[in-house]
Structure 1
């Protein structure tokens, strides 16, 4: 596995330094898991106390031990030490792992593709719930400052959430530089509050012994599984450290976890357990009660800032995941705006932002409190973790070239642990767990419908279109076509076939440009493609040439910029004398449709609402000519 180090991007550590990248990672990567102490221990201990209206010493130590070992096994061992090595040329996350697994297989695999789509769909459920539960849990601390604020908790939370989403189009560059320091202060404050109570009751340190966790689950049957579902709240956000690997590199993320986030989380959970042992009534809100009354308001303000940072990380993660899904042809094209001239990864997607804001506000209104939302939280995260562990087995065997028995032996224990957590969280479906599952189901239906629809359209194109060579022979032999000056660029996904726009142009205009380009844009199974490998030119004849542009799934296509590279390969053209001729296809449902009517209607709706090719590929609007075609599916 040591050879995998070569996949990490070396430019980032050299440019920014490990220390500064680690500080930035504290804010962006660990914002989500860093706000879990606001509600994780509370929900787990309340679930444990539901048996007889209170908790015993064994209950407290058992719950604490479960949280400690969840952090050790799930976050530290699985993600920080193992999965951070399963990078796709420095990029991590579900879709990066999917692309790496597909590339390792050597050919597209439908089963692996479907598993990857499930993981991506589940992420959207997590992206909707995280801002809602994080902001609510932070604002609820105001109840300890004054009882009169209770009716205003929900409106305050909604106002913060609306403000957070409304500023997305301005970019996060200016705010992001404060993410790391603010979250670092948050971890220090949490650790200080926890240490104070831990020192007063050091008995909680015995919870490091896993016997307490095992005994609690064994002695409590179904209740033990319910508590496990709540315990999992302590590790939500673990996927973020894997997904954000491309932004910071493996080493800064590992250092930030081992020396800051992990110790601070342990100390605050030790402190909450010690507080509950000393005062069982504190289980109503053990986090905020760690601090003296004079510190409550500052801690609430700091917690609110930390939850906004955690929410920001999830929102930008939704943008990045959607962009990758579009590039991998799992979703239709969407409008993308760059919010920074210096950092390509800082993007804003209006459609994603709008629907995600509506979903978060709806969750706040529907559930009203972080305790209610806690029942809905966890299912999507555990499902994503199951998908990650499954794909990691494929990568370990096919990409790392490990024997299949060793690949299974490495990941199977973690997969079984994830399945146990998933089973525990599935018990909460009736209490709100249906929400993330519903969101994931909708996204999965959209992705499968788009993949199936585009496959049918591609097959129809192959049935209807002429081989390019046949058409060019006819064009060269025709004496009725007029040659016009300039260059025409025809976009197509099948470079061996004549584009529909070219066929209609020749048929209706009876003219051929002096230079004609059959342009195909493909997405590789790697995050980025080197500039030297971006453009491939093939001379077909005196008037026609084929150009292939290759982009990684984490890149955004820029056709004019890429075509300028053709000058280096000897092709001279004037962009102001170039027309991009695109085919705007109108799709209708055939009476012999091969897909169910509802799915065909969904695909048509997605097609009509997808971003125009000229916008997505950054083609100058004044140089675009669109020719309408019609197709039945």
Structure 2
């Protein structure tokens, strides 16, 4: 085997390929109908060409208004349950030591007003949602955008052909700025930056999952706790166990999917927003309309002057007014950008401001009731209806983070950063709506544990704030990179974003970290466990890939196998699965050493996840023939986005055979028609115009005979593939066991031999992920010493 290129060299090599292809296109050497076949180290470039289109156009804000309005209605029930129920506990969490001055109420109201306006409305609804990845959101969506524009991925599986996928292309402005190129170059050349970006992505993902645990606990406990106002017989322990029962019911209905749950929940949340907005208006006019003065930010400055350190600490309560905002971005894949913008601006934002203004007006006259602000501010005739709706709204509040958790785990799973779990797509009508059974039950157990262990919303609130602000800060960091490198935003606007939004978020982060020992450690503990799990899986995943890359079968070795007289061919089609994109995996050599026979047609299939949300079906399969041609051996890369359905209703093998036959026909036209016609055109362009017609006729006759022979060869190849498929398909799965090599350090042995293998043995296997029929499946085992 010849010397192997390193991963960085391969990536650079692919970059050169792309540049040469672009130059060829600009010079007119690549025809629009049929491209001339060119050999590259990854796969043949011509097999990636398809008509460009935008499969996710509707997800980015387009589409019929009837669909957008339906999704806007659904999003009220799924996205805003969490932020919508924050009035239940914000004031009680902010004024934990009571209200010392009348104007402190105006100061906190002003803080709430500007925080909701700056973070959920301006930052997320009008800026961050524009950074969606073909309609999908979340921390991994931002990371995937950066990975597509800069080569910061740690696995060298990038191919020049990937950029031909229509959804892969970024719509970049023409005026490329020098600073964007400098930032991009520094990221690509720094190994630390690559690891740091992956680490930050995992941290953000872990924090959102931790948020998904805390949201149900604090929301349900706050709502159920309101019954204490009606009866003194309701003790704290009873409230806790009623909350636990509600949480169990909530997680049990997740299997029905976001679509059905959304239509069930949306009317309730609409009623909730109507109630809190109306009661807010009632209290505003009844108690103190003067609280409208809180729009003056001077009240914030005076609040901090009066309270000093206590005012800074109270920010940990104020930040609870924007809980669930990250779910707004993570859940955009369940809906559309436009639908979320409509529901936020028309319903959520005005209802929340009215609710907080009404509570502030009430507190101006009843400062001693701050610990039970919400239910005490409800007029007596509306208490029981409001209590019932509050409990239902609190149940629904949990849905936003649960749905968001499912979405980001699906993304991280597809990008090799999470162990294999089952992804259930719950809606045929709307894309991106998923349910993960294993994660659902783990979240349920964690929620029960936190509710029983903490018992009060004050302690959970301390933990909740850290998870919320950490994710927001990471999102802002990624967004600044996207603004500089991809959007080419004016530097003054970038600086303004950092100074305004960044300063606000860092101020809140410093405040919530102060409560680390009062429960704030909980989300960080969750994040530590999840990041350890994700790091173990991703690290060994990368080590396996590099091992296969270094030990792949060379073309010379494959020719030796085919020339072996003891080797026999048996009828049928064999599909050999592996993760290696750049060649034939070493496990195949292990297979032929023990089974000296090959099927009449053999296809090496590599399942590859691209850093995009969806790959159109017609652009999914990428083929190349393995020399010598008489072997009938092909390589195929099957490309998926991180939200694509892999267990498709269409037969995978049927789609693969259909695309393979298309490739064989394409290969004929490219090699024997276009290529030869172009060569003849070039040759005739150099000849003298006075050449006799006899030579031209002879050339034409030779060309026609060559085409006939080539067409006969194509017909034989197509017939071979058709017969092999009809004879039967065998699915060969490479199941590699990994162990630490002899002499490896203790850390590597623990990582590979114990942590990774424990996860692998207790999680789903490849055949379950790809829904391969067991009767036609053969596993080939091999041990890799990493």
Q: Which TM-score band (shorter chain)?
A: over 0.9
* Deviation by residue 1:451-507 (Cα, 9 ceiling, x = unmatched): 22112222222333422x233211221111121111111111224333344223211
* Deviation by residue 1:520-555 (Cα, 9 ceiling, x = unmatched): 111112111112211112222332011111111122
Q: Which residue of 2 aligns with 1:612?
A: 765
State the shift of 1:233 in Å: 0.1
* Gap change, CA 1:23 and 1:576, over 3 Å in 2: farther
Q: Which residue of 2 aligns with 1:93?
A: 138
Specify the SS of the correspondent of 1:149.
coil
Specify the SS of the correspondent of 2:601.
strand
Instruction: Say which of 523, 527, 547 aligns to 1:440.
Output: 527
- Please say if residues 99 and 105 of structure 2, whose CA atoms lie closer than 8 Å, have aligned partners that are also in contact: no
State the shift of 1:363 in Å: 0.4
Q: Does 1:585 align with 2:736?
A: yes
**Whole-angstrom distance in 1 between the partners of 2:61 and 2:492:** 36
**Whole-angstrom distance in 1 between the partners of 2:293 and 2:727:** 74
Which range moved further: 365-374 or 335-344? 335-344
Specify the SS of the correspondent of 1:582.
strand
**Whole-angstrom distance in 2 between the partners of 1:45 and 1:70:** 17
Specify the SS of the correspondent of 1:377.
helix
Q: Which residue of 2 aligns with 1:622?
A: 775
Map 1:58-69 to 2 at 5 A: 58-69=103-114
Specify the SS of the correspondent of 1:401.
coil
Q: Does 1:399 align with 2:490?
A: no
- Please say if residues 60 and 135 of structure 2, whose CA atoms lie closer than 8 Å, have aligned partners that are also in contact: no
**Whole-angstrom distance in 1 between the partners of 2:654 and 2:85:** 47
* Gap change, CA 1:417 and 1:34, over 3 Å in 2: same
* Gap change, CA 1:388 and 1:16, over 3 Å in 2: same
Specify the SS of the correspondent of 2:634.
strand
Specify the SS of the correspondent of 1:483.
strand
Specify the SS of the correspondent of 1:167.
helix
**Whole-angstrom distance in 2 between the partners of 1:369 and 1:461:** 52
- Please say if residues 330 and 408 of structure 2, whose CA atoms lie closer than 8 Å, have aligned partners that are also in contact: no
**Whole-angstrom distance in 2 between the partners of 1:484 and 1:404:** 65
* Deviation by residue 1:565-592 (Cα, 9 ceiling, x = unmatched): 3415526553881111112222223343
Q: Which residue of 2 aligns with 1:155?
A: 241
* Gap change, CA 1:493 and 1:123, over 3 Å in 2: same
- Please say if residues 324 and 554 of structure 1, whose CA atoms lie closer than 8 Å, have aligned partners that are also in contact: yes
Q: Which residue of 1 aligns with 2:220?
A: 135
Q: Does 1:549 align with 2:638?
A: yes
* Gap change, CA 1:497 and 1:535, over 3 Å in 2: closer
Map 1:211-226 to 2 at 5 A: 211-226=298-313
**Whole-angstrom distance in 2 between the partners of 1:563 and 1:290:** 63
Q: Which residue of 2 aligns with 1:454?
A: 541
Map 1:464-503 to 2 at 5 A: 464-467=551-554, 469-503=555-589
Q: Which residue of 2 aligns with 1:28?
A: 78
- Please say if residues 486 and 577 of structure 1, whose CA atoms lie closer than 8 Å, have aligned partners that are also in contact: yes
**Whole-angstrom distance in 1 between the partners of 2:750 and 2:502:** 35
Map 1:332-481 to 2 at 5 A: 332-404=419-491, 406-467=493-554, 469-481=555-567
- Please say if residues 94 and 388 of structure 1, whose CA atoms lie closer than 8 Å, have aligned partners that are also in contact: yes
- Please say if residues 577 and 604 of structure 2, whose CA atoms lie closer than 8 Å, have aligned partners that are also in contact: yes
State the shift of 1:143 in Å: 0.9
State the shift of 1:353 in Å: 1.3
Which range moved further: 407-416 or 88-97? 407-416
In structure 2, the gaps of 5 or more residues are 1-53, 154-193, 663-720
Q: Which residue of 2 aligns with 1:513?
A: 599
Which range moved further: 446-455 or 423-432? 446-455
State the shift of 1:41 in Å: 1.9
Q: Which residue of 2 aligns with 1:602?
A: 755
State the shift of 1:392 in Å: 0.4
* Gap change, CA 1:496 and 1:104, over 3 Å in 2: closer
- Please say if residues 535 and 565 of structure 1, whose CA atoms lie closer than 8 Å, have aligned partners that are also in contact: no
* Gap change, CA 1:488 and 1:549, over 3 Å in 2: same
* Gap change, CA 1:32 and 1:496, over 3 Å in 2: same
State the shift of 1:30 in Å: 1.0
State the shift of 1:324 in Å: 0.6
Specify the SS of the correspondent of 1:277.
helix
**Whole-angstrom distance in 2 between the partners of 1:454 and 1:408:** 38
Q: Does 1:564 align with 2:654?
A: yes
State the shift of 1:22 in Å: 1.7
**Whole-angstrom distance in 2 between the partners of 1:312 and 1:287:** 22
Q: Which residue of 2 aligns with 1:81?
A: 126
Which range moved further: 610-619 or 432-441? 610-619
**Whole-angstrom distance in 2 between the partners of 1:259 and 1:13:** 19
* Deviation by residue 1:348-407 (Cα, 9 ceiling, x = unmatched): 222211211111001001111222211111101111111100000111111112355643
Specify the SS of the correspondent of 2:284.
helix
**Whole-angstrom distance in 2 between the partners of 1:513 and 1:219:** 82
State the shift of 1:167 in Å: 2.7
- Please say if residues 558 and 619 of structure 1, whose CA atoms lie closer than 8 Å, have aligned partners that are also in contact: no
Q: Does 1:174 align with 2:260?
A: yes
- Please say if residues 7 and 88 of structure 1, whose CA atoms lie closer than 8 Å, have aligned partners that are also in contact: no
In structure 1, the gaps of 5 or more residues are none
Specify the SS of the correspondent of 1:147.
coil
- Please say if residues 501 and 581 of structure 1, whose CA atoms lie closer than 8 Å, have aligned partners that are also in contact: no
- Please say if residues 333 and 433 of structure 2, whose CA atoms lie closer than 8 Å, have aligned partners that are also in contact: no
- Please say if residues 140 and 412 of structure 2, whose CA atoms lie closer than 8 Å, have aligned partners that are also in contact: yes
Q: Which residue of 1 aligns with 2:4?
A: none
Task: Tell me the number of residue pairs that the alignment of Structure 1 and Structure 2 aligns.
Answer: 623
State the shift of 1:140 in Å: 0.6
Specify the SS of the correspondent of 1:496.
coil
- Please say if residues 194 and 271 of structure 1, whose CA atoms lie closer than 8 Å, have aligned partners that are also in contact: yes
- Please say if residues 392 and 411 of structure 1, whose CA atoms lie closer than 8 Å, have aligned partners that are also in contact: no
**Whole-angstrom distance in 1 between the partners of 2:545 and 2:499:** 38
Q: Which residue of 2 aligns with 1:504?
A: 590
TM-score normalised per structure 2: 0.76
Map 1:30-49 to 2 at 5 A: 30-46=80-96
* Gap change, CA 1:17 and 1:538, over 3 Å in 2: same
**Whole-angstrom distance in 1 between the partners of 2:281 and 2:118:** 23
